[in-house]
Homo-oligomer: A and B are copies of this chain.
Amino acid sequence: MGFQLIDVLSDRTDGAWHNTPRCILIACQRRLVSREDSRIAKLKDCQIARQSVLTARAFLCSIPRQGTKKREDPNVISEPNSGQMSARRVDTGRITLHVREQGRGPLMLFFHGITSNSAVFAPLMEQLSHRFRTVAVDQRGHGLSDKPETGYDADDYAADIAGLIRSLDAGPAILVGHSLGSRNSVTAAASYPDLVRSVVAIDFTPYIETEVFDALESRVNAGDQLFADAAAVKAYLAARYVNLPRAAIDIRAESGYRAVDGGLRPLASPTAMAQTARGLRRDLVPVYRAVSKPVLLVRGADSKLVSADALAKTSRLRPDLPVVVVPGADHYVNEIAPDITVKAITNFVDA
């Protein structure tokens, strides 16, 4: 059944762990939650049993600890939150977004590419959370966030970013965006400069060729499938993202699908994806011309989305913007080369 997340560890003799959802046990093994956490007991046989490891941890964190009297404001982190990742939903006033967060320090927000979700940034957050308050966002239509029927233009996504920063009350924020998230981050920086400190814009620029958008739109729409099981999801992802390491495929598989009758379907809304893909074609030149906050342009050296020519044209438009080209990476720069991506980010924001 699906990911077999409802498997229990039948080989354990410790009764306390018998029947604990496998996803929580894996989360314990990965030190995402503590085995001593009293909240785990509450999870037995509950809906979390069908979810992925990262979602399980998010769900766990949403349950108050035993003995906790005070009701927590879901929009305020009341614990130090320096070490482990937590997750919650944030009501921005215009939309409720699901976020994962880790660490304390200056606010650094992460925005994923189309059809993806916030989980893909976990390897970056792990390295950056000792110095930054890292918050990765399921953008509208994606992951566990709200999925309105319409409203998937750049300005809609950018307004969400502004709303989130205001809700967190910790701006101006460093925005790290990949692909769709890059487009959205630069748009937010141009429209809401007071809320944004700087942008790391990964593999999305103006001047992307029409045929590249055509191919992207086909891939995006082809992702809306019913998959028989987790193996089928991983096989599909491995074929679609040919250069992604196994660990990155696993994160996408575990975080991006929900169990339905007959198998698994993407969390991302098909209608939202179709509208979003069309919106990506809008001319980005005016936004790049207008943005006054620092923007680091990051391109994968083997990217099929941002051609060398598109990057060169962008540099002619804005010669003052610094550029990093990551060798050995295609479009999925931060998932293929997290270490270089982290160093590029810190070289930029520490300067």
Which residues of A are in contact with B by a Cβ distance under 8 Å?
174, 197-198, 293-296, 315-316, 319-327, 340, 343-344, 346-351
Contacts and interface: CB of A to CB of B under 8 A. Distances in A.
Interface centre among A320, A347, A351 (most CB of B within 10 A): A351
A119 B293 CA distance: 29
A211 B347 CA distance: 32
B325 A198 contact: no
Contacts of A321: 324, 347
Given A197-B350, A351-B351, 19 more contacts: A174-B351, A293-B350, A294-B350, A295-B347, A296-B322, A319-B324, A319-B340, A319-B344, A320-B324, A320-B340, A320-B347, A321-B324, A322-B324, A322-B344, A322-B347, A323-B323, A323-B325, A348-B348, A349-B351
21 contacts: A197-B350, A198-B350, A293-B350, A294-B346, A294-B347, A294-B350, A294-B351, A295-B347, A296-B351, A319-B326, A319-B327, A320-B324, A320-B340, A320-B343, A321-B324, A322-B344, A322-B347, A323-B323, A323-B324, A323-B325, A348-B348
Contacts of A344: 319-320, 322
B348 A322 contact: yes
A351 B319 contact: no
Contacts of A294: 346-348, 350-351
A320 B344 CA distance: 5
A316 B324 CA distance: 11
A295 B351 CA distance: 8
Contacts of A326: 319
B320 A351 contact: no
Nearest to A349: B351
A21 to B, nearest CB: 40
A161 B326 CA distance: 32
A294 B346 CA distance: 8
A322 B323 contact: yes
A117 to B, nearest CB: 26
A188 to B, nearest CB: 15
Per CB-CB distance, the 7 closest pairs between chain A and chain B, nearest first, are: A322-B322, A320-B343, A198-B351, A294-B351, A294-B347, A348-B351, A320-B344
A292 to B, nearest CB: 10
A337 to B, nearest CB: 8
B351 A197 contact: yes
A348 B200 CA distance: 12
Contacts of A315: 325
A85 B143 CA distance: 56
A296 B322 CA distance: 8
A73 B118 CA distance: 56
A316 B327 contact: yes
A78 to B, nearest CB: 30
A198 B294 CA distance: 16
A347 B293 CA distance: 7
